[in-house]
Structure 1
Amino acid sequence: MIQRFIELGEGYGDVFELCELAKTNKHRILHAFILHGKKNDKKSVSLALALKPAGDVPFIPIYSCREGIPFQEPKTERQLMFERTLHELDVVPVTLEVKHSSEFGSIDHYHQALIAIMRLNHLLPPLS
């Protein structure tokens, strides 16, 4: 089973699009993720949504808004909107502490590391 990240932007409109993807594909939601990373003592939040394969295609898309949301209390409106959408859909997000993408040689390496973490925690199926 192939898994691949598809990055949206990091703005409010992008999180809105991620929420719409969740609503229109609620029957395909495998997991939702809230990822916390830290760079120079500043924490940021990434939001992601993994969908089950469509039809017979062995492909799991993981849509994400990477590190554009500052970690703060109270939570930002973007994070709250994502959490409200998941609550409406009866989906409990998985929260993970991960390294910041800047600690990797490329965004592809970062995505590969996240996929490996998700597979090791049985949040994504193994490659077939």
Structure 2
Amino acid sequence: MQKFITLGEGHGDLFELEALIGHNGARIDKGIFLHTADGPSTFLLIMSPVRGNFQAIYTIHHGIAYKEGEGRKYTLIHEWCRAADLPVVEFSTRNPEDFYEREQFYQYITGVLRLNNLIPPMT
């Protein structure tokens, strides 16, 4: 079971993400940037499953300015992942604003991640 955990708004999300990467490196599976055609990107920090099949997915939801590899938050997150030797995957997805509720976007992303073998299948 995957559970999305939104880190916060503003700069609080960055401080939390930096702490997670710095102190939980052994538990982290990978980082994923989800880019949209016309809006901020989303970042997912995929943790390894624990206690059976629970898997936390920490997210900075629709809050990373990105344009062709540029953006301060984008660059910082890449640097932290590189320093922790974490793989980073990037791809384009539908805009979160296409969905009525955030939970619907997370269900869509769960399906996309499973289809691309980036998270384990449902058990």
User: TM-score under structure 1 normalisation?
Assistant: 0.87
Greater relative CO, 1 or 2 (CA 8 Å, sep 6+):
1
Q: Which residue of 1 aligns with 2:108?
A: 113
- Of 76, 85, 90 in structure 1, the residue corresponding to residue 80 of structure 2 is 85
Could you tell me which runs of 5 or more consecutive residues in structure 1 were left unpaired when the two chains were aligned.
none
Give the whole-Å Cα distance in 1 for the aligned partners of 2:69 and 2:122. 39
5+ long unaligned stretches in structure 2: none
Runs of 4+ in 1 over 6 A off after TM superposition: none
Q: d(CA) in 1 for partners of 2:96 and 2:103?
A: 9
Identity between Structure 1 and Structure 2 (%): 29
TM-score of the two chains, using structure 2 as the length reference: 0.90
Number of residues of Structure 1 aligned to a counterpart in Structure 2: 123
| Contact kept in structure 2, 1:12 and 1:78, CA below 8 Å | no
**Corresponding position of 1:32:** 31
Q: Which residue of 1 aligns with 2:95?
A: 100
Structure 1 match to 2:41:
45
| Per-residue deviation, 1:73 | 5.2
CA RMSD of aligned residues (A): 1.6
Q: For 1:63, what is the secondary structure of its paired residue?
A: strand
1:7 matched to 2:3? The reply is no
CA contact (8 A) 2:35 2:91 kept: yes
